[in-house]
Amino acid sequence: MTNVFTLKQPGAVDDHGLERNPGMAYTPELFNRIRINRSAVERRAATIAKRRSIKKEFQTAWLLKAITCMDLTTLAGDDTPGKVRRLCQKARRPVRRDILDGLGVGDMNITTGAVCVYHNLIPTAVKALEGTDIPVAAVSTGFPAGQIPQPLKIAQIRESVKAGATEIDIVISRAMVLTGDWKAIYEEVKAYREACGEAHLKAILATGELGTLTNVAKASWVCMQAGADFIKTSTGKESVNATLPYSLVMVRAIRDYHQLTGYKVGYKPAGGISKASEAIAYLVLIKEELGNEWLNPHLFRFGASSLLGDIERQLEHRLTGSYSASYRHPMS
């Protein structure tokens, strides 16, 4: 490997002062020799939730942090403008005011990291979030399966950006991964990045459909080389979605890419994370593997729809000593 790969080139700066990953030339020698030992990954992942005992006010702080890193999401066939408007109100005020005041954090203006919707509901979400800094994310490129022609995928991205989405969650073609056509994946994601313009690109790997952890690692590298701002585990529609072993492989790829290029790529586990304790485990993973710099919504997100309700229940328990019924914490 030559030293040219360690020289950081200037990248565009986003609205948060973070240099965006501009990508790099397709360089298969950086990932061709990767081989992931599944047993070792699973052993390490099994220790994550056990290594730290987080209690009382510290647990409260971690759960509030999790809320700020959440993409509040609705991706259902029965989504309506009214449902999205209610979801956006929840994003503005994710925890009941009496709970926040009781915990002494009522003045912190806590919101979720983003709201994620289908393309047709972008204008509704943008209007409902006016006056806030909460971005609207849209799923694109034939989400969730990605089984539409490439020109339509590009057009879909451009239309979503035109409609007001500032984050685009794309899906990669899993068949290209399974056949080892890494150059095609690179060209595909690079074209998506160009179509996004100033909107951030979150590349969904659909880890549960990639066959091996080695494929997950290689796909992570290819998407980052192509200029992805985030890499994301899942659509939430697969039979297996976010897991700690998948996440460990992906965040270590992010760490290695940052050490090589100087650019920070974000990470988003999505699907299957519904408990507050699980959210804390993912935050611990990020802290231990990537460091505190990644513990913010510009570099870390949860893709979740039911997680917020359980976190709010845990926060109320911290305040009252009792667990409330889930209907007291509606999503929308």
166 lies in a domain?
Answer: yes
Tell me the percentage of the chain whose pLDDT exceeds 70.
Answer: 94
Residue 244 lies in a domain: yes
Residue 15, domain member (yes or no) = no
Give tens-digit pLDDT for 103-138: 999 999 999 999 999 999 999 999 999 999 999 999
Q: How many residues does this entry show for the chain?
A: 332
Q: How confident is the model at residue 97 (pLDDT cuts 50, 70, 90)?
A: very high
Cα-based distances in Å from 263 to 11, 80, 126 = 9, 38, 29
At 109 the pLDDT is 93
Element of type H or E holding 52: none
> What range does the domain containing 257 cover?
34-328
Note whether residue 7 is domain-resident. Answer: no
Long-range Cβ contacts of 282-285 (<8 Å, 24+ apart): 282/244, 282/247, 283/62, 283/65, 283/66, 283/69, 284/48, 284/49, 284/51, 284/52, 284/54, 285/48, 285/244, 285/247, 285/248, 285/251
Considering the chain, what percentage of its residues have pLDDT values greater than 90? 86
The question of whether 169 is a catalytic residue gets the answer yes
CATH code of 180's domain: 3.20.20.70
Catalytic-labelled residue, pool 65, 71, 268, 310: 268
Q: Is the pLDDT of residue 295 over 70?
A: yes
Helix (H), strand (E) at residue 18:
none
Mean pLDDT of 71-93: 96
pLDDT at residue 8 tops 60: no
Residue 264 is a catalytic residue:
no
Residue type, 127: K
Count of domains observed in the chain: 1
Specify if 19 maps to a domain: no
The answer on pLDDT for 4 being more than 70 is no
Identity of the residue numbered 76: A
Does the residue 309 lie in any domain? Answer: yes
Cis peptide leading into 144, omega within 30 of 0? Answer: yes
Residue, of 12 and 287, whose pLDDT is higher: 287
Q: So what's the pLDDT on residue 2?
A: 37
pLDDT surpassing 60 at residue 162: yes
Residue 232 among the catalytic residues? yes
The answer on pLDDT for 312 being more than 50 is yes
Coil, helix or strand at residue 327 = helix
Which residue in the list 229, 232, 264, 310 is annotated as catalytic? Answer: 232
Task: Look at the block and give the residue holding tokens 């990470």.
Answer: 267
Other beta carbons within 10 Å of 53: 7
Q: What is the spatial distance between Cα 292 and Cα 301, in angstroms, rounded to a whole number?
A: 14
| Average pLDDT estimate for 292-296 | 97
Phi, psi of 230 (to 5 degrees): -135, 150
Give this prediction's pTM.
0.93
Q: Per the residue annotation, which of 71, 169, 229, 310 is the catalytic one?
A: 169
| Measured distance CA(49)–CA(174) in Å, rounded | 30
Q: Please, is 232 exposed, middle or buried when counting C-beta atoms within 10 Å of its C-beta (0-12, 13-18, 19+)?
A: buried
- Choose among 231, 216, 262: nearest CA to 45: 216
Tell me, yes or no, whether 308 lies in a domain.
Answer: yes
Residue 3 has pLDDT above 50, yes or no: no
